[in-house]
Amino acid sequence: MAMNTLDLKESLALEAPPAELTPPLQGLWWEAKGDWDRGHRIVQQYGDRDAAWVHAYLHRKEPDLSNAAYWYARAGKPVASGAFDAEWDAIARALLGA
Protein backbone atom coordinates (compact mmCIF):
# COMPACT_ATOMS: atom_id res chain seq x y z
CA MET A 1 0.00 0.00 0.00
CA ALA A 2 1.53 3.29 -1.08
CA MET A 3 -0.80 5.49 0.96
CA ASN A 4 0.45 7.67 3.83
CA THR A 5 -1.48 9.44 6.60
CA LEU A 6 -1.87 12.63 4.55
CA ASP A 7 -3.35 10.59 1.68
CA LEU A 8 -5.66 8.87 4.15
CA LYS A 9 -6.85 12.18 5.58
CA GLU A 10 -7.36 13.62 2.09
CA SER A 11 -9.43 10.55 1.17
CA LEU A 12 -11.96 11.60 3.82
CA ALA A 13 -13.39 13.95 1.17
CA LEU A 14 -14.56 10.86 -0.73
CA GLU A 15 -17.94 9.15 -0.26
CA ALA A 16 -16.35 5.78 0.53
CA PRO A 17 -12.92 4.66 1.71
CA PRO A 18 -10.28 3.80 -0.89
CA ALA A 19 -10.56 0.16 -1.96
CA GLU A 20 -7.02 -0.68 -0.86
CA LEU A 21 -7.69 0.05 2.82
CA THR A 22 -7.60 -2.91 5.18
CA PRO A 23 -10.67 -3.44 7.38
CA PRO A 24 -8.99 -1.82 10.42
CA LEU A 25 -8.13 1.24 8.32
CA GLN A 26 -11.68 1.29 6.97
CA GLY A 27 -12.96 1.36 10.55
CA LEU A 28 -10.64 4.26 11.36
CA TRP A 29 -11.69 6.01 8.15
CA TRP A 30 -15.43 5.74 8.89
CA GLU A 31 -14.95 7.03 12.43
CA ALA A 32 -13.09 10.05 11.05
CA LYS A 33 -16.03 10.64 8.70
CA GLY A 34 -18.31 10.79 11.76
CA ASP A 35 -19.79 7.30 11.40
CA TRP A 36 -18.62 5.60 14.62
CA ASP A 37 -21.18 2.81 14.25
CA ARG A 38 -20.03 1.81 10.79
CA GLY A 39 -16.39 1.85 11.85
CA HIS A 40 -17.24 -0.28 14.87
CA ARG A 41 -19.24 -2.79 12.81
CA ILE A 42 -16.24 -3.30 10.54
CA VAL A 43 -13.56 -3.85 13.19
CA GLN A 44 -15.68 -6.05 15.45
CA GLN A 45 -15.73 -8.66 12.68
CA TYR A 46 -11.96 -9.18 12.86
CA GLY A 47 -9.86 -10.71 15.63
CA ASP A 48 -6.40 -9.53 14.66
CA ARG A 49 -4.34 -7.04 16.65
CA ASP A 50 -4.78 -4.21 14.14
CA ALA A 51 -8.57 -4.45 14.32
CA ALA A 52 -8.37 -4.72 18.12
CA TRP A 53 -6.33 -1.51 18.27
CA VAL A 54 -8.89 0.42 16.21
CA HIS A 55 -11.65 -1.21 18.27
CA ALA A 56 -9.96 0.05 21.45
CA TYR A 57 -9.66 3.57 20.04
CA LEU A 58 -13.34 3.58 19.08
CA HIS A 59 -14.44 2.51 22.56
CA ARG A 60 -12.18 5.14 24.15
CA LYS A 61 -13.92 7.77 22.02
CA GLU A 62 -17.37 6.39 22.83
CA PRO A 63 -16.45 6.63 25.87
CA ASP A 64 -16.53 3.11 27.25
CA LEU A 65 -13.16 2.99 28.99
CA SER A 66 -13.44 -0.49 30.48
CA ASN A 67 -14.30 -1.94 27.08
CA ALA A 68 -11.50 0.09 25.52
CA ALA A 69 -9.02 -1.31 28.06
CA TYR A 70 -10.04 -4.84 27.08
CA TRP A 71 -9.39 -4.13 23.40
CA TYR A 72 -6.07 -2.39 24.07
CA ALA A 73 -4.99 -5.55 25.87
CA ARG A 74 -6.13 -7.69 22.92
CA ALA A 75 -4.12 -5.42 20.62
CA GLY A 76 -1.04 -5.67 22.85
CA LYS A 77 -1.03 -1.89 23.28
CA PRO A 78 -1.00 0.29 26.38
CA VAL A 79 -4.24 2.07 27.18
CA ALA A 80 -4.08 5.46 25.49
CA SER A 81 -4.88 8.62 27.37
CA GLY A 82 -3.68 11.41 25.10
CA ALA A 83 -5.47 13.43 22.45
CA PHE A 84 -7.72 11.48 20.14
CA ASP A 85 -6.23 13.12 17.04
CA ALA A 86 -2.74 12.06 18.05
CA GLU A 87 -3.87 8.49 18.64
CA TRP A 88 -5.72 8.38 15.30
CA ASP A 89 -2.54 9.57 13.56
CA ALA A 90 -0.39 7.01 15.40
CA ILE A 91 -2.73 4.15 14.50
CA ALA A 92 -2.99 5.27 10.88
CA ARG A 93 0.81 5.60 10.57
CA ALA A 94 1.38 2.16 12.04
CA LEU A 95 -1.29 0.45 9.95
CA LEU A 96 -0.10 2.15 6.77
CA GLY A 97 3.49 1.24 7.54
CA ALA A 98 4.43 4.90 7.20
Question: Predicted confidence band at 91 (pLDDT cuts at 50, 70, 90)?
Answer: very high
Contact 2, 96 (CB under 8 A): no
DSSP type of residue 14: S
SS3 15: coil
Q: What percent of the chain has pLDDT over 70?
A: 98
CA atoms of 37 and 81, how far apart (whole Å):
22
Contact 59, 67 (CB under 8 A): yes
Q: How far is CA 79 from CA 30, 59, 65, in A?
A: 22, 11, 9
The predicted pLDDT at position 47 comes to 86
Q: What percent of the chain has pLDDT over 90?
A: 95
